[in-house]
């Protein structure tokens, strides 16, 4: 089953000699690339992945901005039905869209194997912090969910170094109140104009403070 696309030969060093190890043949299990309606794909009955709302929103944002940049993975059942192995969420989000699907030559057990290893393998990746920093500085999004994905990818420390003001807002600390006050020169009674909005510095339980918020020009 499948084609052999190439051999991998590993060499190990023993003294000054190279030792040739066993040749491993890597099979090409992709039968074809087919474009089909996403709603016609059948979910795998043992799909174990659960997609939180944050992931759904981020994926919608990416699809709206870029579109499909990678294929879904499926296998063809004896009756011709295409059973998904990877891409369940994309198929669910865009059921009426014609999507690219890689059809794999897999039996039922091999499909389970890919289902269980595909995402966990990708999750083992580690980050080159400096390259990630440069990439984050060069990419912008108008979608809040995608920006939340960027922040999660960066991690708290890197994100705080890129966007310190946002970090101050997202991680308030009473111990840093004096530091923040000196930085932004805030004083009780101030009314800040932020675009069409107003922000008053004071106690929201004090009616005179609220009067200033609503009446000041």
Does residue 189 surpass a pLDDT of 80? Answer: no
194-203 pLDDT per residue, tens: 766 778 888 8
Does residue 173 surpass a pLDDT of 70? Answer: no
pTM value > 0.75: no
Comparing 44-53, 115-124, 149-158, 190-199, which segment has the lowest mean pLDDT? 190-199
Q: Are residues 76 and 140 in the same domain?
A: no
Q: Are residues 42 and 117 in the same domain?
A: yes
pLDDT value for 168: 47
Share of the chain above pLDDT 90, in %: 60
Comparing 65-74, 88-97, 192-201, which segment has the lowest mean pLDDT? 192-201
Q: Are residues 118 and 145 in the same domain?
A: no
> Residues 61, 64, 65, 68: what is their CA dihedral angle, to the nearest 10 degrees?
110
Taking residues 26-41, report their average pLDDT. 97
Instruction: Give the relative orientation of helices 144-154 and 129-138 as an angle to the nearest 10 degrees.
Output: 160
Give a yes or no: residue 53 inside a domain.
yes
Give a yes or no: residue 5 inside a domain.
no
Reported as a pLDDT band with limits 50, 70 and 90, residue 23 is: confident
Phi, psi of 142 (to 5 degrees): -95, 0
Q: Are residues 36 and 96 in the same domain?
A: yes
pLDDT value for 165: 67
More confident residue, 9 or 161: 161
Taking residues 11-40, report their average pLDDT. 80
How crowded is residue 99: how many other Cβ atoms within 10 Å of its Cβ? 20
Q: Are residues 111 and 168 in the same domain?
A: no
Does residue 71 surpass a pLDDT of 50? Answer: yes
Give a yes or no: residue 24 inside a domain.
no
Query: Quick check: helix, strand or coil at residue 37?
Result: strand
Last residue of a domain, one of 123, 140, 155: 123
- For the chain, what is the domain count? 3
Give a yes or no: residue 91 inside a domain.
yes
Q: Are residues 98 and 38 in the same domain?
A: yes
Give a yes or no: residue 9 inside a domain.
no
The boundaries of the domain holding residue 166 are 126-176
C-beta separation of 17 from 88 below 8 A: no
50-67 pLDDT per residue, tens: 999 999 999 999 999 999
CATH of the domain at 81: 3.90.1530.10
- Assigned token pair, 23: 């040749």
Q: Are residues 107 and 36 in the same domain?
A: yes
């Amino acid at each position: 089953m499948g084609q052999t696309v190439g051999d991998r030969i590993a060499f190990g060093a023993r003294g000054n000699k190279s030792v040739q190890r066993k040749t491993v043949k890597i099979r090409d299990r992709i039968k074809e690339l087919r474009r089909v309606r996403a709603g016609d794909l059948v979910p795998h009955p043992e799909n174990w992945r659960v997609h939180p709302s944050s992931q759904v929103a981020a994926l919608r944002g990416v699809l709206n901005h870029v579109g499909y940049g990678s294929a879904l993975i499926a296998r063809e059942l004896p009756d011709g039905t295409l059973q998904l192995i990877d891409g369940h969420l994309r198929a669910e989000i865009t059921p009426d869209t014609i999507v690219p699907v890689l059809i794999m030559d897999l039996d039922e057990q091999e499909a389970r194997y890919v289902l269980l290893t595909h995402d966990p393998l990708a999750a083992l990746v580690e980050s080159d912090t400096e390259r990630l920093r440069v990439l984050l500085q060069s990419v912008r999004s108008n979608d809040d969910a995608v920006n939340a994905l960027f922040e999660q990818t960066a991690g708290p420390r890197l994100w705080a170094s890129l966007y310190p003001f946002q970090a101050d807002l997202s991680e308030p600390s009473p111990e840093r109140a004096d530091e923040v006050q000196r930085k932004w020169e805030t004083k009780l009674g101030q009314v800040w104009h932020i675009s069409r909005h107003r922000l008053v510095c004071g106690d929201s339980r004090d009616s005179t403070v609220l009067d200033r918020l609503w009446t000041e020009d």
